[in-house]
Amino acid sequence: MRKSIALLLTLALLMLSTAAFAQFGGNPPPPWWDPQWKDYDNHRWDDGEVSWTKVDEKYVNIPWIDRDNALLDENNPARAQSVEMALQTRAYIPCYLEMKVTGNEGQTILQSFGPLATPVENPNGYLLAFDNEIGGFVDEFWNSLGHGRNAEVNFTEGWSNVYIQGCDVFKVEVYANDDYKYEVQAGPLTPYDANTEAWEAVDQLNLQMRYKFGEYGLYGQTRTFDQPGEIKEIAVMDACEELTVYHQFRVPYSRNIAHGRYDGEVIFRAYTL
């Protein structure tokens, strides 16, 4: 009986060994229970390739190179770069000045474009005339006393001096895109054909003027031009301000003024400051 059991065990071990041999390519596995052979198959499937990496500051060959403050050049919008130049701008606006004079059926427009432009006009088509038939006579306060070819007006009226006023009120309009001044220059009228040889006769007619600003302004005091080339300052204006002035003129009419023609000149002038 014992021989039969021993024979069966031998046959079983033989069958297991045969199966294991067939499974492992013809070589039996190492006996796993034997400590000497338990790690025999540990490196059986290695491929022979080994790599190893570790990062540490001790792994350098040039230690003085600065590796801590480097900014890696990634394409990151938060690190966008830019270039900029501030170009100075400057504009030079040319100066412009104009004056328009209207009165006695005439109008003159003067325009100055840019530096050193100084237009001057001496119109021949109209004038400032003092005539008893046109402007007529006025009293000391510029009140009309009448007009006419044979107007019966005395040299004095009601203890008031008498004058012959100009043929029209002259309107002057001025504009400039710079600060400017407006003034009037005039002087006495002198005899052209009047006989002033008598000691009683005066040899000049002192021109008088009053003016107002704008159509609805009030006339100011009367100014007298009794010296040649006398200048009366009318207004000083800021750039881009428009100015409108109405001028009224007269000459005296008295017993010591000889009959005849007297000539003079009135200059309306505007200039930038």
- Per DSSP (E only), the strands in the chain are 96-103, 106-113, 137-138, 144-146, 156-157, 160-165, 170-176, 180-186, 190-191, 207-213, 223-225, 230-237, 242-253, 262-263, 266-272
Fill in the DSSP letter of residue 28: P
Amino acid residing at 128: L
Q: Give pTM, 2 decimals.
A: 0.73
Q: How far apart are CA 137 and CA 163, in angstroms?
A: 6
What's the rounded Cα separation, in Å, for the pair 75 and 73? 7
Query: pLDDT, tens digit, for every residue of 158-169?
Result: 788 999 999 999
Alpha-carbon dihedral sign for residues 14, 17, 19, 21: negative
- Please determine, for residue 124, whether its predicted confidence score (pLDDT) is greater than 90: no
Give the per-residue pLDDT at 21.
47
- Are the C-beta atoms of residues 273 and 216 closer than 8 Å to each other? no
> How many CA within 13 A on the CB side of residue 64?
0
Cα separation, 151 vs 130, in Å, equals: 15
Q: Which structure tokens are listed for 96?
A: 């412009």
**Is pLDDT at 189 greater than 80 in this prediction?**
yes
Burial 211-238 (b: 16+ CB within 10 A, else e): bbeeeeeeeeeeeebeeeeeeeebeebe
- 6 band by pLDDT with thresholds 50, 70 and 90: low
Position 10 scores a pLDDT of 60
Residue 101 and residue 268 in contact, taking contact as beta carbons nearer than 8 Å: yes
| 183 exposure class (CB count in 10 Å sphere: 0-12, 13-18, 19+) | middle
Give 9-51 pLDDT, tens digit per residue. 666 655 655 554 445 455 777 787 878 888 888 888 888 898 9
Q: Are strands 262-263 and 180-186 parallel, antiparallel or unpaired?
A: unpaired
Q: What is the mean pLDDT of the chain?
A: 90
Strand partners, 138: 144, 163
Buried b (16+ CB within 10 A) or exposed e, 68-102: eeeeeeeeeeeeeeeeeeeeeeeeeeeeebbbbbb
CB atoms within 10 A of CB 167: 20
Percent of the chain whose pLDDT exceeds 90 = 67
pLDDT digit string (tens) for 44-94?
Answer: 888 889 899 998 888 889 988 888 888 888 898 988 999 999 999 999 999
Burial group, residue 202, by CB count within 10 angstroms (0-12, 13-18, 19+): middle
